[in-house]
Chain A
Amino acid sequence: MTVEEIIEGLKEKPGALLPILHGIQDQLGYIPVEAVPVIARELNLTRADVHGVVSFYHHFRSHAPGRHVMQVCQAESCQAMGGVALTAHVKKQLGVDFHQTTKDKAFTLEPVYCLGNCALSPAVMVDGNVYGRVTPERFAQVVEEALEDR
């Protein structure tokens, strides 16, 4: 589906902006800057309105991510189980900081505040799949599994 088709399918919904942005990001992996004026026109909003919403929410991104999006939980429960050390390990292994993409475009690394898997902290999510009790060894498996996917 093109951006125009996604907008067309959702614009009649009450409060359509978030569903449209999700529709576009689900399809393309990000919200292209060029999509902003198109959305604004179709919803009768200003470009500033749409940009304001895109930039307000942590979930939406304006640049293409790597093939996999990896989120590492930064919240208290994961901190209580070594989340800070795990985060450092992940950054070192991937060679990137948060909001960055690895050179081979395999992973984009993002922080996340709680994945709701707090009884099995620390937690990591890759492309919507959650992993619990993540140790450095298990992290290596997580990376391997993601790369096997593609």
Chain B
Amino acid sequence: MKTAVYVPRDSSALSMGAESVARTIRTEAANRGVEIDLIRNGSRGMAWLEPLVEVSTPKGRVAFGPVSAKDVPGLFEAGFVKADAHSLNLGLTEEIPYFKNQERLTFARVGITDPVSLPDYTNSGGFVGLANALKLSGEQIIKEVTESGLRGRGGAAFPTGIKWKTAYDAPADQKYIVCNADEGDSGTFSDRMVMEGDPFLLIEGMTIASLAIGATHGYIYLRSEYPHAERALNEAIATAYQEGYLGNDIRGSGKTFHLEVRRGAGAYICGEETALLESLEGKRGEIRYRPPLPAVAGLFGKPTILNNVITLASIPTIFENGPGFYKNHGMGRSRGTLPFQLAGNLKRGGLVEKAFGITLRELLYDFGGGSYSGRPIRAVQVGGPLGAYLPESQFDTPMDYESFTAVRALLGHGGLVAFDDTVDMARMARFAMEFCANESCGKCTPCRIGSTRGVEVIDKIIQNRNREANVELLHDLCDVMLNGSLCGLGGLIPYPVLSAVRHFPQDFGIARNGK
């Protein structure tokens, strides 16, 4: 019998040489007359073990990693296809604590199946949610989404059910579903992993959204930095059309939904929903005034549901297992799970899906294993370039939207970037302002001008030129940006800047009382 051998096609695995590992395994197996079935799966999310090669055994899948192409002959010598002992043998994949201790709802299938195999998808519960949703009216679909407690996973945490209801209530001859796949935040990669590792899940979630509001067209706005995700999505979309999961008559229901991937062009601001819509319409990615909300007048002026990848990818689970199942995870007003992304200076970076409520410290140390460099972790930026830097004294903060707001921080898209004690926080604050200046769309003054002035003021503080007055000026400037900017770029960049000043004043040459 052929043994199934898995080598991920996820770009993090490819970035560590998975392609040449797969090629070498194929050649070695052929040369040795060993029959194998090589499957290119998604990633299990244990990035430090990539490329993580798995071999199917009667007891379950056994992991080997990190495997390099030059390890492959030795693996065959050691009887790797029978999962015999080898120094890279990690035992059963699902027993590795990092993986075992997660609560994978949205990522249930990622890393396990062949991402573009429709049979793999349907054999593991795929499209059950869609079948259930097809039996419901639009209003009933929205009611279930509301009951699940799902909030937007892109960062703003707006209740998804309310957004959908708004689009439902807006009368129009045409409505749209748009997926925000412009995952530009540093330290985040969960959208990419879903799109590369389980693209049918996103297609199913968007199709259910289309049924809810009667939208016939959808777009996935994908950042240009994700070519592998684009390939996986386009393969899956083509298959979905062939098999009647997309098109003019979805599974014989008479419902229509057409879906297309549109590539962004390297503008961070296009992750902001109204800039994204402008870009989809073929314009400069300049943000729009709100109101009207996109749910009322979005793409081409029509009512549009615009959600992040993880939000839409959470939908099938809710319709497969019921809203109650989803809601039973989490804490307070943060229901369900969040795929946390462990990045930066960590020993065991990767993806950890857990219910809300786990603490930052548990993620950093129990999962992340502490810093990669072996030095103390000094600061962690949570929620991307617009998120606050948290010092060690805040590591026990539970990961939920409200707890983070309470410490003047953001949970955002669930990415965390760890820095060891060699970090210079004044430089990071300067970088935040510089990033904002580079990426500002230019529409509003606080963001366009404020960010450039911010870089200059921080430079003066660093150079000790009239330091006290300039610290005060920086606070004033941040106040203007926070309250006067039109969108979250200028409006949130004060978070990393001020948190750096507040928690690490010594790096700016000022004492803890702010002077």
Contacts and interface: CB of A to CB of B under 8 A. Distances in A.
Interface stretch (A1-9, A88-96, A101-109, A115-123): A115-123
Contact of A118 (B189, B283, B419): B189
Contacts of B506: none
Interface residues of B, number: 60
A24 interface: no
A119 B47 contact: yes
Contact of A76 (B189, B191, B280, B344): B344
A128 B227 contact: yes
Contacts of B88: none
Given A76-B417, A118-B417, A128-B227, A113 B268 contact: yes
B435 interface: yes
Nearest to A75: B186
Most chain A C-beta atoms within 10 Å of own C-beta, residue among B50, B343, B349: B343
A120 B43 CA distance: 13
Most chain B C-beta atoms within 10 Å of own C-beta, residue among A17, A43, A117, A133: A117
Contacts of A60: 265
A116 B192 contact: yes
A120 B47 contact: yes
Most chain B C-beta atoms within 10 Å of own C-beta, residue among A19, A113, A128, A129: A113
B349 A80 contact: no
A79 interface: yes
Most chain B C-beta atoms within 10 Å of own C-beta, residue among A14, A79, A80: A80
B464 interface: no
A18 interface: yes
Contacts of A78: 186
Interface in A43-96: 43, 52-53, 56-60, 71, 75-81
A76 B226 CA distance: 18
B219 to A, nearest CB: 9
B345 interface: yes
Interface string B20-53: 0000000000000000000000000001101000
A117 B189 contact: yes
B511 interface: no
Contacts of A14: 281, 300
Nearest to B46: A119
B50 A120 contact: yes
Contact of B419 (A22, A75, A80): A80
Contacts of B345: 80-81
Contacts of B423: 80
B89 interface: no
A123 B265 CA distance: 19
A140 interface: no
B417 A77 contact: yes
Given A112-B225, A113-B435, A116-B225, A131 B267 contact: no
B184 interface: yes
Contacts of B266: 57-59, 112
Contact of A75 (B48, B228, B385): B385
15 contacts: A18-B262, A18-B265, A19-B263, A57-B264, A59-B266, A76-B381, A76-B428, A80-B345, A113-B184, A116-B226, A117-B15, A118-B188, A118-B343, A118-B344, A119-B346
Given A113-B435, A115-B225, A116-B225, 20 more contacts: A15-B280, A17-B282, A18-B282, A21-B265, A53-B282, A56-B267, A56-B284, A76-B428, A79-B431, A80-B418, A113-B268, A113-B438, A114-B183, A114-B186, A114-B187, A116-B192, A117-B12, A130-B15, A132-B12, A133-B16
Interface of B: 11-12, 14-16, 47-48, 50, 183-189, 191-192, 224-228, 262-268, 279-285, 300, 341-346, 349-351, 372, 381, 385, 415, 417-420, 423, 428, 431, 435, 438-439
Interface of A: 14-19, 21-22, 43, 52-53, 56-60, 71, 75-81, 112-121, 123, 125, 128-133
